[in-house]
Amino acid sequence: MSDQSESRIFYTKPSIADLEVKYALDAARNGWGDKCYEYIDRFEAMFCEHLGVKYAIATSSGTGALHLGMAALGIGPGDEVILADINWIASVAPIVHLGAKPVFVDIDKESWCLDPAEVERAITKHTKAIVAVHLYGNMCAMDRLREIARKYSLALIEDAAEAIGSVYKGAPAGSMGIFGAFSFHGTKTITTGEGGIFVTNDEALYSRVLTLSNHGRRKGEVRQFWAEEIGFKYKMSNLEAALGCAQLERVSLLIKAKRTVFEAYAELLRDMPIKMNPEPEGTTNGYWMPTIVVDEDVKFDRDRLLSTFKNQSIDGRVFFWPLTKLPMFEEDSTHKVSYSIYQRAVNLPSYHDLTYGEVERVVDIVKHELMSGYCED
């Protein structure tokens, strides 16, 4: 076991190198006046190239990207939007802000993402969209979800906030729906501090989001300060975009580092009664957040493990709560997988320069907890 004299292991932190500092300094010194959008324009173009999509709009957050996209699709009062019960609140907040009704369904026990069978069962005449969240980098069953969306004429939205580096049958996460949204929060594989991006291949939707994202001012409008409608203010700053450009130049290395950390965990925990982030045939997992789910037949005290981590200067995170357990939504314990898994799961520390020795420190505690009587067969 480790002792408290050892350095703290954070659950995540960004990789900031000299290139990021150079670009950020340049943006701070020179990115004003007629150069105030230079890094933003460059970041959007680079992200399109990285993802293989036609259009991108940098935003102040992933939540903002979702909000803009949903608003542009006309989602509003009287509409229903289906999403998985296990998610971060950011995935559902824009639905509520737009006055639509979120419809929660249970997750697939293998992927921890939307269960397509449950999605199809939840569709009504009011359903307008499906939000496919690639949880912790795990890929949703996109073939089946696209088939369902086509069958019922629904918009399929990808919340790829956690899925930089994840790929489904050759298609990067975020590139397969009517639009995709990413987050660049400081915890993510690439970061702009805060920030996000809206991406799409649909020219009309892109044009609509572009107008909404600029306070309702249409591109090409010659009248200064003229707005056609009430829009939003979700712009990314030039300073943030400068960081993003540097991160995108290093994105392959950053994704590789995250996968290396996950592989170390998987190797060291291979004989434990747990499951970790899946990578089914035909997919690549960006492994944003390595996660353990303890087998159902094992007695497991999640809070005790996290307390032990804390005592040993290690950060851990709980698995996302079922959204239907939060006070603003109606509880639904029929979601058997969702209501079971969150109590048996923990996110492990993961960042780009986490060493093998530090992974061993984390694994040592996990094994000790599982074998010491806190978790018993």
Q: What is the pLDDT of residue 226?
A: 94
Same domain, 123 and 161: yes
**Confidence band of 4 (pLDDT split at 50, 70, 90):** very low
Give residue for tokens 């994840």. Answer: 166
The last residue of one of the domains, among 229, 249, 269, is 249
Domain count, the chain: 2
10 is a domain residue = no
What's the rounded mean pLDDT across residues 113-130? 98
8 is a domain residue = no
355-364 long-range contacts, CB within 8 A, separation 24+ = 356/264, 358/9, 359/261, 359/264, 359/265, 359/268, 360/268, 361/2, 361/6, 361/9, 361/312, 361/314, 362/9, 362/265, 362/309, 362/314, 363/265, 363/268, 363/269, 364/1, 364/2
286 is a domain residue = yes
* Triad 366, 369, 374: Cα angle to 5°: 150
**Confidence band of 6 (pLDDT split at 50, 70, 90):** confident
What's the rounded mean pLDDT across residues 61-88? 98
199 is a domain residue = yes
Same domain, 190 and 77: yes
Strand partners, 129: 81, 155
Same domain, 222 and 259: no
User: Given the DSSP bridges, would you call strands 167-168 and 283-284 parallel, antiparallel or unpaired?
Assistant: antiparallel
What's the rounded mean pLDDT across residues 45-71? 98
Q: What CATH code is carried by the domain that includes residue 346? A: 3.90.1150.10
296 is a domain residue = yes
The dihedral formed by the CA atoms of 79, 83, 87 and 89, expressed in degrees to the nearest 10: 0
What is the per-residue burial (b if ≥16 Cβ within 10 Å, else e) of 257-266?
bbbebbebbe
Instruction: Write the CB contacts of 162 (distance below 8 Å, at least 6 apart in sequence).
Output: 133, 134, 135, 136, 137, 183, 188, 286, 288, 289
Same domain, 234 and 263: no
Q: What is the pLDDT of residue 371?
A: 82
Q: What is the pLDDT of residue 2?
A: 40
Q: Express as a percent the part of the chain with pLDDT over 90.
A: 95
Same domain, 212 and 310: no
Note whether 347 and 317 are within 8 A (CB). Answer: yes
CB atoms near residue 152 (< 10 Å): 15
Note whether 200 and 178 are within 8 A (CB). Answer: yes
pLDDT, tens digit, for every residue of 282-317? 999 999 999 999 999 998 999 999 999 999 999 999
Strand partners, 134: none
Residue 373 has pLDDT above 90, yes or no: no
Same domain, 226 and 283: no
The last residue of one of the domains, among 221, 249, 277, is 249
pLDDT, tens digit, for every residue of 247-260? 999 999 999 999 99
Question: Among residues 337, 276, 296, 343, which one has the least CA distance to residue 117?
Answer: 337
Q: What is the pLDDT of residue 275?
A: 97
The last residue of one of the domains, among 249, 283, 302, is 249
d(CA 244, CA 337): 37
What's the rounded mean pLDDT across residues 329-341? 97
Same domain, 242 and 269: no
Domain span at residue 295 reads: 251-371
Same domain, 187 and 241: yes
Residue 229 has pLDDT above 70, yes or no: yes
Q: What is the pLDDT of residue 372?
A: 73
352 is a domain residue = yes
Three-state DSSP at 159 gives strand
Q: What is the pLDDT of residue 332?
A: 96
* Strand ranges (E), 151-261: 155-159, 167-168, 171-172, 179-183, 196-200
Q: What CATH code is carried by the domain that includes residue 190? A: 3.40.640.10
Kindly give the residue spans of alpha helices, DSSP state H, lying in 31-178: 38-51, 62-72, 93-97, 116-122, 142-151
**Confidence band of 5 (pLDDT split at 50, 70, 90):** low
Same domain, 63 and 158: yes
Strand partners, 284: 167
Amino acid at 1: M
Question: Among residues 239, 145, 247, 143, which one has the least CA distance to residue 190?
Answer: 247
The strand order across the sheet containing 196-200 reads 55-59, 196-200, 179-183, 155-159, 127-133, 80-84, 101-105
33-36 long-range contacts, CB within 8 A, separation 24+ = 35/238, 36/238
What's the rounded mean pLDDT across residues 97-116? 98
Q: What is the pLDDT of residue 237?
A: 97
Residue 377 has pLDDT above 70, yes or no: no
Residue 338 has pLDDT above 80, yes or no: yes
151 is a domain residue = yes
Question: Among residues 87, 78, 77, 76, which one has the least CA distance to residue 324?
Answer: 87
Note whether 312 and 347 are within 8 A (CB). Answer: no
Q: What is the pLDDT of residue 55?
A: 98
Q: What is the CA radius of gyration of the chain?
A: 21
What's the rounded mean pLDDT across residues 349-373? 92
Choice among 13-17, 109-113, 371-375 with the minimum mean pLDDT: 371-375
Q: What is the pLDDT of residue 375?
A: 44
d(CA 359, CA 367): 12
What's the rounded mean pLDDT across residues 272-281? 97
Which token pair is 348? 């492990």
Same domain, 206 and 59: yes
Same domain, 206 and 259: no
Residue 357 has pLDDT above 60, yes or no: yes
Residue 3 has pLDDT above 50, yes or no: no
pLDDT, tens digit, for every residue of 92-101? 999 999 999 9
327 is a domain residue = yes
Same domain, 198 and 330: no
